[in-house]
Amino acid sequence: MSAFIVKLLTGALPLFGSGLSNKQTNGNLDSSSWQNLPKFLPGSPLTHGYPWGLLQYNPDIVNETLPNTGVTRRYYFEVAPGKLSPDGYEKEMLLFNGQYPGPLIEANWGDWVEVTVRNSLESIKEGTAVHWHGLRQYATQFADGVPGVVQCPIAPGSNYTYRFRADHVGSSWYHSHYSAQLSSGLVGPMVFYGPRSVPYDIDLGPVLLSDMFHLYYETVVAGVMANGTDFKLAFSDNNMINGKMNYDCSLVTDGTPCVSNAGVSKFKFERGKDHLLRVVNTGSSGLQFFTIDEHEMTVISNDFIPINPYKTNSLTLGVGQRSDVIVRGKTGVDAHQAYWIRSNLSVNCHLPRQPHGLAAIYYDKADFAANKTPKSKPQPLINANMPCQNAPLNLTIPITRIPAPPADKVVTIQVIDTHNATGHPEYLLNNQTGRVNYNKPILRFANQDNFSGLSNPEWNILNTGDSNVVRLVWENRKVDPSDPNFFNRTFAHPIHLHGHDYQVLSYGPGEWDGTIINEANPMRRDTTILPPNGHLVMQFTTDNPGIWPIHCHVAWHVSAGFLMNVLERPQELDKQQNFKKALSQTCHAWDTWSKQNVVAQIDSGLRMNMERD
Ligand SMILES: [Cu+2]
């Protein structure tokens, strides 16, 4: 632990900013506005006291009935460049409505959500597109926000309105899916109110964990995609909780303005009450170990899936993953203390220059106002020895029981971390790297001429054909065997499938031995860590016609081609209303703009486009 962090923890350095205003660290964000959330939003008739009446949340794509609330929640997001200093280091960023993190999206279960995204990146000539993580987007795949797959990028100077259903209950996030723009600030929280499986008193709202890269995302991508001596590993500089943390400005050597006490996030607890924390890894790369000093957490859901509650001292969250946890407030003398929230980036499966993220919990109003430095003891978490994988699968059992059906299509996917003929890093999935074309989103061709337009191998299409249950066996055990000196190790990869909560049958070190954990009711979620030198076995039912990317959520890995696209029930795509209109709206403006401007797609597109050597 660096001397700087030790000084922060002991109170030798001020924990809270005096050198910078909230406007300078987080722009228009007032994160206290999302710290005490309601049980639901007003606006629709109540039945038995709730907008959803007596409906139970049974997340299952084909059978679940969504409440018909008749309400649309509307948001307007302007994407523009901006300069902020979230951790004290002044940084070129990309911002939603001038703030970092972006505005909270809230809706009741069953509401429609409309977000008009305005691209104001004319000066830096970048497209954009926004993905709403973890929603199934049934019959609205064109609102999934992946450029080159279901839309063209939103061109500078133009708007696009996403309209989708709040089809889940719980916590998630949205982010740019255009290259690695999310790393420069285009992330924000989403909360969907609905029936919960465990009661709580106070909704403390989103707790967003994020590695922080001081460099603009294009510079990081250029470094990890370069060959020879230009190649640079992607080290993160800091670790943020709700967009705040302090930074040791003595490390700055290039003259960038920096203030060492930018300030950390603060939370107010109440004695004896049950607090809901919506913990989300909104980072670019790093695996987070999340703990609260001297407090136990009860995990009630992972991603959008309620699980049988279990108690733990620490959460492991890969990029894109969420856990909703309930934390009981202290009583007696213990409720007069202040406590640390700590999130530590893994040093085994990430490259953090500074892995420690801190935030403070106060019970006393006076301590809160005085910014008292907590003196609490950390949980017994030995960072260096924590494995790069999620909690054991036998701990996480969904409340809505769905047994694992037998698969009628099984695909084994070998992950290879290698470099191409010119020495540029590249991920291969079964010997194929993934890459999209912004001007030719796959959906444009998916309904034409018996799908003959889908012949580009770089689109990496996995056509489910007429199979009902598709099982994917990921094997992450081989480094490029012909070149043992290049990246002679494997990384952890948080595997995210759009449009589904997939069943997680097994993960762990080595090869899969064929055992399904909790076969009668395996864990379901939308993102799961594929461990280094290990396996991940997942399956999904083909009940959501569309084109659904499946990719590693480490920004730099998807940049290097860690991407496939599931073409699901292609013969039913034409039945979806409005998708041609949605495509033509973005593609008309993008085609016009990209004819007049050079698009620097330096990566795969979920990531960007540099001409290949
Ligand atoms: Cu990865």
Determine which of 515-519, 552-556, 569-573, 577-581 has the lowest per-residue pLDDT on average: 577-581
Residue 511 has pLDDT above 70, yes or no: yes
* Mean pLDDT within 332-354: 94
How many of the other CB atoms lie within 10 Å of CB of 11? 12
Residue 558 Cα to ligand 1 midpoint, Å, equals 7
Quick one: pLDDT at residue 63? 86
| Predicted confidence (pLDDT) per residue in 407-441, tens digit | 999 999 999 888 888 888 888 899 888 988 999 89
Quick one: pLDDT at residue 481? 58
Q: What is d(CA 419, CA 483) in angstroms, rounded to the nearest whole number?
A: 9
Please answer whether residues 337 and 375 qualify as being in contact, where contact means their C-beta atoms are separated by less than 8 angstroms: yes
* Mean pLDDT within 317-334: 97
Residue 407 Cα to ligand 1 midpoint, Å, equals 26
Residue 384 Cα to ligand 1 midpoint, Å, equals 20
* Mean pLDDT within 97-121: 98
Q: What is d(CA 13, CA 4) in angstroms, rounded to the nearest whole number?
A: 8
Residue 532 Cα to ligand 1 midpoint, Å, equals 10
Pure H helices in 332-468 = 365-370, 442-446
3-state secondary structure of 443: helix
Quick one: pLDDT at residue 483? 59
The residue assigned the tokens 């939003």 is: 41
Quick one: pLDDT at residue 449? 54
Residue 556 Cα to ligand 1 midpoint, Å, equals 7
Residue 608 has pLDDT above 50, yes or no: no
Q: What is d(CA 189, CA 280) in angstroms, rounded to the nearest whole number?
A: 8
Quick one: pLDDT at residue 21? 93
pLDDT band at 488 (very low <50, low <70, confident <90, very high): very low
DSSP class per residue in 456-518: -GGG-EEE-TT-SEEEEEEEEEEE-TT-TTSS-S---EEEEETT--EEEEEEEESS--SPPTT
Residue 169 Cα to ligand 1 midpoint, Å, equals 27
Backbone φ and ψ for 587, nearest 5 degrees, come out as: -75, -30
User: Taking the model in full, what pTM does it have?
Assistant: 0.95
Quick one: pLDDT at residue 111? 98
Residue 491 Cα to ligand 1 midpoint, Å, equals 7
Residue 553 Cα to ligand 1 midpoint, Å, equals 6
| Predicted confidence (pLDDT) per residue in 176-209, tens digit | 999 999 999 999 999 999 999 999 999 999 999 9
Quick one: pLDDT at residue 445? 79
Determine which of 86-100, 143-157, 440-454 has the lowest per-residue pLDDT on average: 440-454
Quick one: pLDDT at residue 489? 58
| Predicted confidence (pLDDT) per residue in 233-251, tens digit | 899 999 999 999 999 999 9
Residue 271 Cα to ligand 1 midpoint, Å, equals 41
Residue 325 Cα to ligand 1 midpoint, Å, equals 26
**Surrounding residues of ion ligand 1, Cβ less than 5 A:** 493, 552, 554, 557
